């Protein structure tokens, strides 16, 4: 059974950065794909990017290119999502999710991390 445990809520100023963590347990961390999905208040789900820890490089939706960096630390089975140049519209719940090897759906989700951007 895979568990994804995320870091807590953050309040940030516009223009600053936030780094959210996601610690995985169960399964083989290096082999599956970890993704980040966000949900603005009252809105739908939006995929931001992914990383395969075994390969190391992140892959991002064009909308977030240049602002988001996804990394993974295999020694601690933890993935990170850093978003820079924050704007009020980045206020959202950020979820880490897993895609199993060979699949294209999200079978495990973290509990979500609230990020609020406000002056």
Cβ count within 10 A of residue 82? 14
For residue 24, how many C-alpha atoms fall within 13 Å in the half-sphere facing its CB? 28
Phi, psi of 103 (to 5 degrees): -105, 170
What residues numbered 51-90 form the site for another protein, per CB under 8 A?
59-63
Options 8-16, 17-25, 79-87, 107-115: segment touching another protein (CB under 8 A): 107-115
13/105 with CB nearer another protein = 105
DSSP 50: E
**Segment interacting with another protein (CB under 8 A) among 12-20, 23-31, 69-77, 102-110:** 102-110
Does the footprint of another protein cover residue 7 (CB under 8 A)?
no
List 54, 69, 71, 112, residue binding another protein (CB under 8 A): 112
Long-range contacts (CB closer than 8 Å, 24 or more residues apart) made by 58-61: none
Task: Find the part of the chain contacting another protein (CB under 8 A) among 8-16, 18-26, 42-50, 83-91.
Answer: 42-50
Residue 1: C-alpha distances to residues 24, 26, 34, 40, 53 (Å): 10, 6, 15, 28, 19
Residues that bind another protein (CB under 8 A): 35, 37, 44-47, 50, 59-63, 95, 103-107, 109-112
């Amino acid at each position: 059974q895979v568990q994804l445990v995320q870091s807590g809520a953050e309040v940030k100023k516009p223009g600053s950065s936030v780094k959210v963590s996601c610690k995985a347990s169960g399964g083989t961390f290096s082999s599956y794909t970890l993704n980040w999905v966000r949900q603005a208040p009252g809105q739908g789900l939006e995929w931001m990017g992914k990383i395969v820890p075994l390969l190391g490089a992140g892959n991002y939706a064009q909308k977030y290119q240049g602002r988001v960096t996804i990394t993974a630390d295999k020694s601690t089975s933890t993935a990170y999502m850093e978003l820079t140049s924050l704007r009020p519209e980045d206020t959202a719940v950020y979820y880490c999710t897993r895609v199993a090897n060979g699949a294209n759906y999200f079978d495990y989700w973290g509990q979500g991390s609230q990020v609020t951007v406000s002056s």
